């Protein structure tokens, strides 16, 4: 079969890939099909996994098998969970305090700029109001 791409004709090179049938059957819109894998792909290793306290295992054919029984919360190291929680909360506390300081410094810097502008214009009423506001931050 001759094909052309942008005016250039060529003959496609069909490569044959050796496949093996792993016996995995599926169904899509009522039609059954089997999955074929290239021969060079190794078999999937068997792992025992845990997702949201449900234990399951992967099988060599790629399927999943649920393992009976649930992981109890008593089996978890509570000390680690508490340490992680305290680290997280202290980190957020430090971050919040730092943001509050930056915010306060920005407000004070802007007040100083406004006080200087009021002095240059000679607006005594605005100057008194801004100085009272500055005293609230001190």
The C-alpha atoms of residue 109 and residue 114 are separated, in whole angstroms, by 9
Q: What does the pLDDT read at residue 11?
A: 83
What are the boundaries of each domain within the chain?
A: 43-75, 78-137
Distance set, CA 125 to CA 65, 83, 111, 119 (Å): 79, 55, 15, 10
Residues of the chain with pLDDT under 50: 70-73, 76-84
Q: What does the pLDDT read at residue 29?
A: 86
User: Buried b / exposed e across 104-132, counting CB within 10 Å, b at 16+?
Assistant: eeeeeeebeebbeebeeeeeeeebeebee
Q: What is the pLDDT of residues 71-107, one digit of tens each?
A: 444 554 444 444 445 555 677 788 888 888 999 899 9
Q: What does the pLDDT read at residue 67?
A: 55
Is there a contact between 92 and 98 (Cβ–Cβ < 8 Å)?
Answer: no
């Amino acid at each position: 079969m001759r094909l052309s791409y942008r005016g250039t004709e060529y003959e496609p090179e069909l490569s044959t890939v050796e496949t093996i049938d792993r016996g995995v059957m599926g169904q899509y819109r009522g039609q059954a099909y089997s999955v074929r894998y290239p021969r060079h792909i190794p078999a999937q290793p068997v792992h025992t996994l845990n997702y949201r306290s449900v234990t399951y295992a992967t099988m060599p054919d790629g399927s999943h098998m649920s393992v009976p029984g649930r992981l109890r919360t008593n089996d978890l190291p509570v000390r680690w969970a508490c340490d992680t929680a305290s680290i997280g909360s202290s980190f957020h506390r430090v971050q919040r305090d730092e943001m509050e300081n930056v915010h306060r410094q920005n407000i004070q810097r802007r007040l100083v700029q406004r006080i200087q502008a009021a002095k240059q214009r000679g607006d005594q009423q605005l100057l008194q109001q801004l100085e009272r506001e500055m005293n609230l931050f001190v």
